[in-house]
Structures are given as C-alpha cells and as structure tokens.
Structure 1
Amino acid sequence: MGMLATLISALASGETVAAIRRARTAAIVYAIAALAAFCGLGFLIGAAYIWAAGLYGPMLASIGFGVGFLVVAGLILLIHWISAGSRARRRARRRNADMKAIGITAALAVLPALLKGKGGLGVVLGPAVALAAYAIYRENTKPRADDGSDEK
C-alpha cells in the first residue's frame, strides 16, 4: 500500500511531469549530438575518399569504398544472424522463469482457499507430491538427440 501512496503523491506533486520534461530534453540533446556525429563521420569518409582518389584514381577509389561498405554490411548481418540463436534461447529461459513465477504465485494465492475446503491438506498434498515426483523424474532422465545425427 505504501508503494501506491508514493506513486500517487509523486503524480500529485508534479514530479512525473518534471521527469518527462527531463527525459524529453535529454532525448532532443542526444538526437542533435547523434546528427552532428553522423555529419562528422560523413565528412571523414569524404576526406578519405578524396585522399584515396588522389592516390589511386576516382574509379578505383569508388570501387574500393563500395566494396568496403558492402563487406561491413555483410559482417553486421552475419554477426546478427549468429547471435539470433543465443537471443532466442535467452528469451525462452526468461519466458520459462516468468511462467514458473506466475504458476507459483497462483498456487500460493489459491492455497488458503484449498486448505479451508472439504479435502483440506489432502487436496494440496496430492498434486504437490505428483509435481515433485515428475520434477525428480525429469531431472534424472537424459534428453535424447532426435535430430537424426549419429553422435557417438
């Protein structure tokens, strides 16, 4: 209840509006700084092109810069593709943990009502013992590789 009171008092005092203003100002400043950085990067690339064109000629410099940027783009896509698998596994682990937490919370919320009911403790202990037995079974069995590969 104290958290709700703090939130309501913060809203009433205008602290939230001030925080939103600070965030908006920071976002504008960062956007302007990023724009200036991109302009600077563009001029540096232009200067590098002029220098390379002076050494190798305009056609060879254009081809070199084009190939260089295509290689950089390909590397970025390759790194993204490789890391996609680990991101998917991380999301799955987080989703499983969230579902487990929701299940535990729901069970704890229903527990007092079950204990007061007709069956009492038996209604709670039966499924709990079955769940524990299943967890022990899952922990002690090895997953099989069903991907068709011949691992030895």
Structure 2
Amino acid sequence: MLASLITGLVSGEAAETAGRIRRAVVAYLIAAALMAAGLVFLLIAAFVVAAREFGVVKAALGFAAVFIIGAAIIVIVHRVAARSKAKLAAKRRQSEITAVVGAAAVAMIPTLLAGGKGRSSLALLAPALAGLGWAVWRENSRGRRNLGDMRD
C-alpha cells in the first residue's frame, strides 16, 4: 500500500513536471517565431531606408555583403573554438590514459610479486616501477612548467 502511494506521488509529480516542460517549450517556440518575424520586418524597414538613401541595387549589395561577412566570421570563430576544444580533449584523454596505465601497473604489483620467488619477480617488477616513476615525474614537472607560464 505504501509503495503504491509513493509510486503515485512520484508519477503524478513527474507527469506534472513533464506538462510544465511541454508548456514552456511551446511558449518559447511561439516567442522565438514572433521574435524572428519582428527581426525580419526590422531588416525590411532598414532595407527600405537604405534603398531610399543609396538606391535599391546599392542597398541590396550592402545588405548582402554584411550578411556574407557575418556568416564568414561565425564560421571562422566556430572553427577556432572547435580546434581549441579538440586540443583540450586530446590532452585530457592523454592524462586519463596515463592515470589508467599507472593504476594498472600498481594493480599488477601483487600479481608480479606472487608469481615468482626471489630475483625473478623483482626483475619483472623493476621496469613497471621505473615506468610508473617516470610517468609521475613527467606529470609533476609538466605541472610546474604550466604554473611558471601562468605567472609571466
């Protein structure tokens, strides 16, 4: 009985929330359509004023140039931002791979130690520890260089 009461409350609240979201989406879509229509009429009015001042052909060429230049600027800015985000993602991915490899190396230590007796297990463990130490040193030294660059 208590479970059905809780389920009813949760599902009723979820349905109410879904209804509010649907109404908000419809309201924003209508507002966006009206805003677009208003901007179109504003552009038409600006074109009429420019056409009276400079002539129809010159006004049309001017409006075309402004729109083409605006589109080119948007594409260029988007490409620069996309490249920057791709570089940051690659750096983050490399850092995550380093962390996973280090964790795997640390997790393998007990297996390597239990696998053999004496010097053979240490011979297997030495390269893993050296690689782990090098990765830690590289990560720490890179952090110091970045801090120095930020201060300049």
> TM-score with structure 2 length normalisation?
0.61
Q: Which residue of 2 aligns with 1:63?
A: 61
Aligned positions of 1:1-150 closer than 5 A: 13-14=10-11, 15-96=13-94, 103=100, 119=114, 126=125, 129-130=129-130, 132-139=132-139
Question: Aligned-pair distance for 1:91?
Answer: 2.6
Question: Aligned-pair distance for 1:86?
Answer: 1.0
- More contact order relative to length (CA 8 Å, sep ≥ 6): 2
Question: Aligned-pair distance for 1:137?
Answer: 4.7
Question: Aligned-pair distance for 1:93?
Answer: 4.1
* SS in structure 1 of the partner of residue 114 of structure 2: coil
Superposed CA RMSD: 4.1
| Structure 2 letter corresponding to 1:13 | V
Question: Aligned-pair distance for 1:80?
Answer: 1.1
Q: Which residue of 1 aligns with 2:146?
A: none
CA distance in 1, matches of 2:27, 2:33: 10
- Specify the structure having the higher radius of gyration (Cα): 2
Q: Which residue of 2 aligns with 1:6?
A: none
| Structure 2 letter corresponding to 1:74 | A
Question: Aligned-pair distance for 1:57?
Answer: 1.0
CA distance in 1, matches of 2:9, 2:96: 33
The 1:11/1:128 distance shift into structure 2, 3 A limit, reads farther
The 1:21/1:130 distance shift into structure 2, 3 A limit, reads farther
CA distance in 2, matches of 1:17, 1:129: 56
Q: How many residues align?
A: 129
CA distance in 2, matches of 1:63, 1:27: 38
Unaligned segments of structure 2, at least 5 residues? 1-5, 116-120, 143-152
**Structure holding more helix per residue:** 2
Sequence identity (%): 34
Can you list the C-alpha shifts for 1:125-150, whole angstroms capped at 9, x where unaligned? x59745531313534788xxxxxxxx
Can you list the C-alpha shifts for 1:35-73, whole angstroms capped at 9, x where unaligned? 111111000000000000111111111111111111111
CA distance in 2, matches of 1:63, 1:132: 64
> TM-score with structure 1 length normalisation?
0.61
